[in-house]
Amino acid sequence: MILQVKNLVKQYKHHDGLINALDDISIDVKRGSFVTVTGPSGSGKSTLLLSLFGLIRPTSGTIFFNNRIITGATDLELANIRQEHVGFILQNFALIPYLTTVQNVMIPLALKKVDGDEQLERATEVLKFVGLANRINHLPRELSTGQQQRVAIARALVHNPSVILADEPTGNLDPALSLEILDFLSKINQTKGITVILVTHSPVAAEYGNYKIHLRDGRLAG
């Protein structure tokens, strides 16, 4: 198992009262699997995804990554684990507007203090892989939506993570582009053995999963 989640609970304290966003979630994720997380709006999908590697601190429960307990790790330890092992693809892409394609993709390597020439080389290589070799010096606003999404994917991949976490990565895209991105995630999963955890509203996207998680009111639903 690459990830084991045991009895995960996340409560948000709100002045309107306590919200049980995650209510006793337990899941086992095998290395190399393609996990889809579906469920109605507000069912806890994003909270689950962001809790896995500590971007949100769970209220209780235990998370094992590579058989090591990571709940309880310090912020710095968690940041290091994310930098080393995890790629994030978020819905709004989160590209830095004043950096070019290749500079955006170099960010995870810069954080790891990889040598400058190597950063450029590896970012260029992964941009070739996503079909953007001829757009490396463009700014995000000079790219189409699908191209921006592929930059975000390239950035999530460049440091060779063992897990990719994607929250509605095709939410803003037309059906054809969505399929392109999904096929791409599937290719990464199959050829590189990267574990993918994909949050989605789309039934089509959910079909890509070989482990399908459905949430309702913060609980696993059948």
Ligand X SMILES: Nc1ncnc2c1ncn2[C@@H]1O[C@H](COP(=O)(O)OP(=O)(O)OP(=O)(O)O)[C@@H](O)[C@H]1O
Q: Applying CB under 5 A, which residues contact Mg ion? A: 46
Find the binder of ligand X among 45, 82, 122, 159 (CB under 6 A). Answer: 45
Per CB under 6 A, 46 contacts ligand X: yes
Per CB under 6 A, 44 contacts ligand X: yes
Least distance between ligand X and beta carbon 49 (Å): 8
Least distance between ligand X and beta carbon 63 (Å): 16
Least distance between ligand X and beta carbon 218 (Å): 7
DSSP state of 173: S
The neighbour count for residue 197, using CB atoms within 10 Å, is 25
Q: Give the residue among 122, 131, 164 at the shortest CA–CA distance from 32.
A: 164
Query: What is 33-74 written as a DSSP string?
Result: -EEEEE-STTSSHHHHHHHHTTSS--SEEEEEETTEE-TT--
Written as six digits, the tokens of 37 are 């997380």
Q: Which does 42 bind (CB under 5 to 8 A by kind): ligand X, Mg ion, none?
A: ligand X
Positions 3 through 42 that interact with ligand X (CB under 6 A): 12, 14, 19, 21, 39, 41-42
